[in-house]
Structure 1
Amino acid sequence: MSNAAAGAAGAVRPAEVLRAPAFALFWSATTLRAFGTAIAGVAFQVLIVTVIGATPMQISVLSALGVVPYLFLGLIIGALMDRWRRQPTLVLTSLGRALVLAAIPVLLLTGTLTFWSLAAVILALGVLSLFADSAAQPLLPHLVPRRSLVMANARLGQSATVAATAGPAIGGLLLTLVGVPLLVLAEAFMLAVSGLLQSRIRVREARAEPRPISRHLGHEIVEGVRYTYRHRTLRPLALSVHTWFLAHSIVTTLFGVFVLRELGVPEWAFGLILAAGGVGGFLGALVAPRIGARLGAGRAILLGRTVTVVPWLAVAVLPLTAATSLAILLPLLAAVQFLYALSQGIEDANEMGYRQAVAPDSLQGRMNSTIRTANRVVFFFGALLAGSLATVFGFSVTIGAAALIFAAAALVILFSPLRTARHDDAHAMA
């Protein structure tokens, strides 16, 4: 066997990253946070709807507060993460979120939980989560070899999918058993344990390069934006994911309303449909490292983008109505969610692994925050656009438009240098 062939064969089986103590602690802390967030999501819904009796407008405001920090602070915090150490940031944000959540039972017991106090809690959690997200992505390349980044992101994706799928069910059960105050305290405890696990990680982060006194944060933000959108392969990757997020915002905004109201699917069946998505996401993350090793980063991401088009195009063109039998709707819509989540599982691990491997450490925070902030802006306006389009043109036409936008995201990669990019090339460039 030639050296090239031997290298290719070895690449098919990436090393198991959970055997690395630092990553095992990071994965445990991240998984615990994911489960805590998913479980507490049930408690927050109860608080919003039944405890404070929020109006539809107030619910919209509370929902937007979770995104607002990314819109206004995303680029700034991303630049700070290229100045600060990321490991202590993750520890402090976990403990900070635990303290903020612990304030909710106090507000409940003292009868001072109102719309405004809950809004302050949600905003504070949003800011702390932004710091945590901005620190976690650039820290990961310090915990595992760059050749193992796809595997590491796949493992994180698998646990996140399980948490998102099982967490609400566990939260609903615990809510019945212990009530809202204890459920929120349980999440606060999980975040505190997460911070403790994170603090046990021993990692040496590169010391930030000295900066001229005249060089302020704005210069560094601009440098990060320029680097991202002038890079030969990161530019098409960023443009593709922005396009994908526009379509994603449309289908995620409309799918529940379309299925429950337009098609009249019962709630229990809707739960099964969403559960199929959890299975698809887990399997996608499971096979992502092997697909990335065989096809290369660019083609693996392209595969995920292409598969995404199929389920939504099917929803748009098939004559689905409230008169359609549930025996047809249930497996069909479950397949839609399964394929959609499967495609995300495949592309997410490869996309994140490639981004983390190709960018230098001094630009990791700014590169990731540039892409993440633009994604949030696109999602915010896409969600608003979705309702307007559905009102004027109907659900099928609007979902069909989203399928075409998903196709455009795939075409950006197909006709760019990213299509032939491989993870090994990114490791060599870094």
Structure 2
Amino acid sequence: MSDRPGEVLRLPAFALFWSSSTLGAFTGAVSAVAFQVLIVTTLGASAFEIGLLNAANVVPYLLFGLIVGALMDRWRRKPAMVLASVGRALVLGAIPVLWVTGTLTVWTFGALFLIFGALTLIADSAAQPMLPRLVPRNQLVSANARLGQAGTVAQTTGPALGGALVSWLSAPVAILIDAVAYLVSAVMLSRIKVDEPKAEPRTDGRHLGHDIVEGLRWTYSHRTLAPMAASVNVWFLGNSIALTAFAPYALRELDLGALVFGLVLALGGVGGFLGAVLAPMAGRRFGVGGAVLAGRVLSALAWLAVLILPASENIAIVAIPLGIGQFLFGLGMGLEDPNEMGYRQAVAPDEMQGRLNASIRTVNRVMFLIGALIAGGLATAFGFRVTIGVSVVIFVVAALIVLFSPLRTARHEDL
């Protein structure tokens, strides 16, 4: 008899969680388009203001990521997710109201955007630690794979849906639809039946600073989670450098055009979906270490494909290696993410889940900002190809961390 776990979507609690997450992924993709149109077209923001608003997207994670992670190990996670969804609905609903009354400005939108980002941080910080309470440990990879598949579809098709809604209805009305979607998501989350211990006041005198330091120390000293965290941190550095250089390289130097560039990026979504489908099988066959290592190697190969472009004025010939590269990149992410997340959720005790994820996520954001700054300097001094070449080296380092650590032989079955 097969020892493979059954279909995880048959679990009622996870089915509701997955439905809410999927709706949120599509809503986020639509909002991303609507926000950009609103900022640039409706509000007429300057280049400086656009830069500030885009930077504000990561500010809540940098300022409050570790704090919220520690709180998620003290609070019940389901109520936090429900309240965060309701809060985001109210924030988004305020935007069309301010627009209709003529009081929406770049700065009022910026304030709402920061609040929205903080609420998203709370929702994300609660979701990952709550998942192990919804599904058995041997189904965590499958659960994360299902979430990854839905997220990839949303990222691939959501921007087109968002563009259509904005074109037909205007950006503020599209944002209002997103607000209603978050209320629906909150209702779904509220119906989840999950056993969470009631939050009790701390009586040991420990403040959040102690909890944060304990979480960082536990994460970065664990035998297998430490190399996993270090590898993904390095990966984020390389990814930031590559992504910062890729768009101007493809659109300006290679002169791909918006349509071809969009098709190239869409292949990344196809690869990501396929990788998420194959992730559980890869984890069983090669172990979590093998699946993560494969993802890291594919990331390096993906951007290496960008560097070996044939010299040609034929756009199709140039676009093919780029598309292959994006497909490989998405495939690698789809393979590794469910295995990595499932392993982290299975290894960490419940009281450490929030801090583990917050520690890794916050360092990732810091690395992403550092990477963007490095990419700007490298591209200015040496050009985009050299910048992407540096990212390939960094992706190789991320793979080597896995290869020469105990993580390489880690398997879910050994837990």
Normalising by the smaller structure, the TM-score range is over 0.9
- Which residue among 174, 178, 192 is the counterpart of 2:183? 192
Q: Please say if 1:141 is aligned against 2:129.
A: no
Deviations 1:197-226 (A, max 9, x none): 000001001456774442111111111011
Structure 2 residue aligned with 1:81: 72
Corresponding residue SS for 1:371: helix
**Are the aligned partners of 1:32 and 1:194 in contact in 2 as well (CA < 8 Å)?**
yes
Tell me, in whole angstroms, the C-alpha distance in 2 between the residues paired with 1:314 and 1:166.
25
Structure 2 residue aligned with 1:340: 329
- 5+ residue gaps, structure 1, are 1-5
Corresponding residue SS for 2:220: helix
Q: What is the CA-CA distance between 1:421 and the residue it aligns to?
A: 0.5
Q: What is the CA-CA distance between 1:285 and the residue it aligns to?
A: 0.5
Tell me, in whole angstroms, the C-alpha distance in 2 between the residues paired with 1:315 and 1:280.
16
- Which residue among 30, 53, 66 is the counterpart of 2:44? 53
- Which residue among 232, 238, 241 is the counterpart of 1:247? 238
Tell me, in whole angstroms, the C-alpha distance in 2 between the residues paired with 1:309 and 1:208.
44
Q: Please say if 1:358 is aligned against 2:354.
A: no
**Are the aligned partners of 1:138 and 1:361 in contact in 2 as well (CA < 8 Å)?**
yes
- Which residue among 8, 14, 26 is the counterpart of 1:35? 26
Q: Please say if 1:68 is aligned against 2:71.
A: no
Tell me, in whole angstroms, the C-alpha distance in 2 between the residues paired with 1:214 and 1:201.
33
**Are the aligned partners of 1:82 and 1:208 in contact in 2 as well (CA < 8 Å)?**
no
Tell me, in whole angstroms, the C-alpha distance in 1 between the residues paired with 2:199 and 2:218.
18
- Which residue among 312, 318, 327 is the counterpart of 2:316? 327
**Are the aligned partners of 2:240 and 2:369 in contact in 1 as well (CA < 8 Å)?**
yes
Count of matched residue positions in the alignment of Structure 1 and Structure 2:
415
Q: What is the CA-CA distance between 1:327 and the residue it aligns to?
A: 1.8
Q: What is the CA-CA distance between 1:357 and the residue it aligns to?
A: 0.3
Structure 2 residue aligned with 1:410: 399
Q: What is the CA-CA distance between 1:160 and the residue it aligns to?
A: 0.6
Alignment of 1:267-282 (within 5 A): 267-282=258-273
Taking only aligned residues, the RMSD between alpha carbons, in angstroms, comes to 1.3
Tell me, in whole angstroms, the C-alpha distance in 2 between the residues paired with 1:63 and 1:291.
36
Q: What is the CA-CA distance between 1:41 and the residue it aligns to?
A: 1.5
After superposition, the Cα gap between the structure-2 partners of 1:417 and 1:210, relative to the gap in structure 1 and judged at 3 Å, is farther
Deviations 1:2-45 (A, max 9, x none): xxxx7xx62xx432110000000000001101101101211111
Corresponding residue SS for 1:205: coil
- 5+ residue gaps, structure 2, are none
Structure 1 residue aligned with 2:278: 287
Alignment of 1:147-166 (within 5 A): 147-166=138-157
Indicate the larger mover: 171-180 or 60-69. Answer: 171-180
In structure 2, give the amino acid aligned to 1:176.
S
In structure 2, give the amino acid aligned to 1:224.
G
Indicate the larger mover: 204-213 or 380-389. Answer: 204-213
- Which residue among 86, 96, 107 is the counterpart of 1:95? 86
Alignment of 1:186-265 (within 5 A): 186-207=177-198, 211-265=202-256
**Are the aligned partners of 2:67 and 2:208 in contact in 1 as well (CA < 8 Å)?**
yes
Alignment of 1:121-132 (within 5 A): 121-132=112-123
After superposition, the Cα gap between the structure-2 partners of 1:207 and 1:397, relative to the gap in structure 1 and judged at 3 Å, is same
Q: What is the CA-CA distance between 1:314 and the residue it aligns to?
A: 2.4
Tell me, in whole angstroms, the C-alpha distance in 1 between the residues paired with 2:124 and 2:107.
25
Indicate the larger mover: 101-110 or 205-214. Answer: 205-214
In structure 2, give the amino acid aligned to 1:59.
I
**Are the aligned partners of 2:215 and 2:356 in contact in 1 as well (CA < 8 Å)?**
yes
> TM-score, normalised on structure 1?
0.94
Tell me, in whole angstroms, the C-alpha distance in 1 between the residues paired with 2:404 and 2:175.
48
- Which residue among 371, 374, 384 is the counterpart of 1:382? 371
In the TM superposition, structure 1's runs of 4+ consecutive aligned residues that sit over 3 Å from their partners are: 206-213, 317-320
In structure 2, give the amino acid aligned to 1:364.
Q
**Are the aligned partners of 1:151 and 1:289 in contact in 2 as well (CA < 8 Å)?**
yes
Tell me, in whole angstroms, the C-alpha distance in 1 between the residues paired with 2:392 and 2:249.
15
Tell me, in whole angstroms, the C-alpha distance in 2 between the residues paired with 1:251 and 1:260.
14
**Are the aligned partners of 1:317 and 1:400 in contact in 2 as well (CA < 8 Å)?**
no
